[in-house]
Amino acid sequence: MRPHTPRSARAAALAAVALLAPLAITACSSGTAQSGSGGAQTTQMYTWVSTENDRAQWQAFVDAAKEKDPNFTLTFDGPSFNDYWTKVKTRMVASDAPCILTTQAARAQEISGILEPLDEYMKEAGIQASDYNAAMMQGMTVDGHVLALPYDAEPDVLFYNKASFKAAGLEEPTTAYTTEQFVKDAKALTGDGKYGLAVKASLMANAAGDFAIAFGGDVSRDGKVTITEQKFVDGMQFAFDLVAKEGVAAAPNAADADGPSQGAFQNGTAAMIVDGPWMYGTFEKSLGEDLGVAVLPTPTGQPRAVIQGSGFGISKSCPDKKAAFNVLKQLVTPEVIGSVAEKQGTVPSIESAIDKWAANKPEGNVAAVKALLENGTPLVTTNTWNQINTSFEQYSPEGYRGTRTAADILGDLAKTAG
């Protein structure tokens, strides 16, 4: 989920730079953050730093907080997005571990053992869970305790090229888009070396997982993996068939990551792609006014999408958790979240800040995102989510090529995930 998000390793070539030269941005926190033991650690954050966009986003948070409080300070560093999830547990038990860390709602369950419950700190600060997007808060809550406060709430969307639709004589999608019409459009947009859709090997922020959600499925329920339930299977098989049977997309390779499919959409060789709103700014640079945003098509036309997002938490190993929360809470105010949404394009987790994100965006694009926020479902996972994601990327090309069914692949994933 991925921010978006910056949250992704979408520019792997820059990951090494992030590792060699971690960014430390000064900005500081009203004296309380420096009080008590571990003062330096309370103003340090461990996060993913894969790309220049990641750096720009974290800096935007610091700058916005500093604008409100000139004494605010925060430094941060970390590995690439993919490496973050394999390293964060080890990093957080080190004696010099930063007190603040980032997590996705989808990963909160997975790393819950290193995250401090925030309920009491929120109560003391007068912060309500209801201040934030309900789906995101559901994802950030594990065993009844809030483990992180979200800064964005990003429903996966269908990006499309308006110029391609116009050239093919097609009407642009609205906030009610059926899978039947979608397939017709994708076929009309396929030909002469171009495809109607670009797909990736990944699970979410991609056709496979998102159609599984759009068809009414969920990845888990009551702590149990539910990817073998029929609605989830049907939606994923629909995505696989877009390549294997309909021929409206090219099958991905397991090692492709996001680059080839996103590149195809940006250069016009694919007319549509399923991705997260965090890619809006990147796609807009390539497509300009031709960038369209639609809801995910569903069998009934009633939109349904998963809402992904990330937030800030506190490590259980932090020597001064109260001081760390005094820093954290300044990152998730409506003013700061709204400022970052305006500058970086992240869909804000606070409803009052939506207008800042929507500024200067086409009405139809904004309407699609708002419709999905209203009809979204949280991405609540289990502690085996990373394993499921990794294995799916390995096996999904077989599904797209038609050599394995969705039921077969998902059955294997469910067994290995436990």
DSSP 153: -
Q: Which residues contact 335 (CB under 8 A, 6 or more apart)?
A: 64, 68
Q: Of 136-140, 210-214, 219-223, which range is least confident?
A: 219-223
Classify the phi-psi angles of 15: left when phi > 0, otherwise alpha if psi is within -120 to 50, otherwise beta.
alpha
CA angle centred on 416, ends 414 and 417, rounded to 5°? 60
pLDDT at 257: 82
Identify which has the larger pLDDT, 51 or 330.
330
pLDDT at 418: 64
Please report how the helices 385-400 and 406-417 are oriented relative to each other, as an axis angle in degrees rounded to 10. 160
Secondary structure (3-state) at 276? coil
DSSP alpha helix (H) spans, 92-202: 119-125, 134-140, 162-167, 179-188
Sheet with 310-314, edge to edge strand ranges? 75-77, 44-46, 100-104, 310-314, 149-150
pLDDT at 51: 83
pLDDT at 352: 92
Is 157-295+383-417 a CATH 3.50.50.60 domain? no
Average pLDDT over every residue of 65-70: 96
The whole-angstrom separation of Cα 23 and Cα 17 is 10
DSSP string, 175-187: SS-BHHHHHHHHH
Tokens 């590149």, residue located: 263
Does residue 19 register a pLDDT over 70?
no
Q: How far is CA 195 from CA 186, 202, 265, in A?
A: 7, 19, 9
Average pLDDT over every residue of 363-377: 94
Arithmetic mean of pLDDT over the chain: 90
Q: Please provide the size of the chain in residues.
A: 418
* 254-310 pLDDT per residue, tens: 988 889 999 999 999 999 999 999 899 889 999 999 999 999 999 999 999 999 999
DSSP alpha helix (H) spans, 141-279: 162-167, 179-188, 207-214, 230-244, 259-266
| Bridge partners (DSSP) listed for residue 221 | 224
Q: Residue 356: count other Cβ atoms within 10 Å of its Cβ.
A: 18
Maximum Cα interatomic distance, the chain, rounded to a whole number of Å? 66
Please report how the helices 179-188 and 230-244 are oriented relative to each other, as an axis angle in degrees rounded to 10. 10
How many CA atoms lie within 13 Å of 354's alpha carbon, on the beta-carbon side? 15
Q: How far is CA 327 from CA 74, 99, 149, 276, 333, in A?
A: 8, 10, 12, 28, 11
Q: Two tokens at 68?
A: 């409100």
* 26-50 pLDDT per residue, tens: 333 333 344 344 579 999 999 999 8
pLDDT at 417: 79
DSSP 315: B
Q: Two tokens at 69?
A: 């409080």
Share above pLDDT 90 across residues of the chain, in percent, rounded to a whole number? 79
5 pLDDT band, cuts 50/70/90, is: very low
- Where in the chain is CATH 3.40.190.10? 39-154+308-363, 157-295+383-417
The fold for domain 39-154+308-363 equals: D-Maltodextrin-Binding Protein; domain 2 (3.40.190)
Q: Of 54-58, 152-156, 297-301, which range is least confident?
A: 54-58
Asked if residues 213 and 258 have their Cβ atoms less than 8 Å apart, the reply is no
* 117-149 pLDDT per residue, tens: 999 999 999 999 999 999 999 999 999 999 999
Q: Of 2-16, 157-171, 210-224, 268-282, which range is least confident?
A: 2-16
Q: What is the torsion angle, in degrees rounded to the nearest 10, for the CA atoms of residue 283, residue 162, residue 267 and residue 238? A: 90
pTM across the whole model: 0.85
345 pLDDT band, cuts 50/70/90, is: confident
| Bridge partners (DSSP) listed for residue 292 | 160
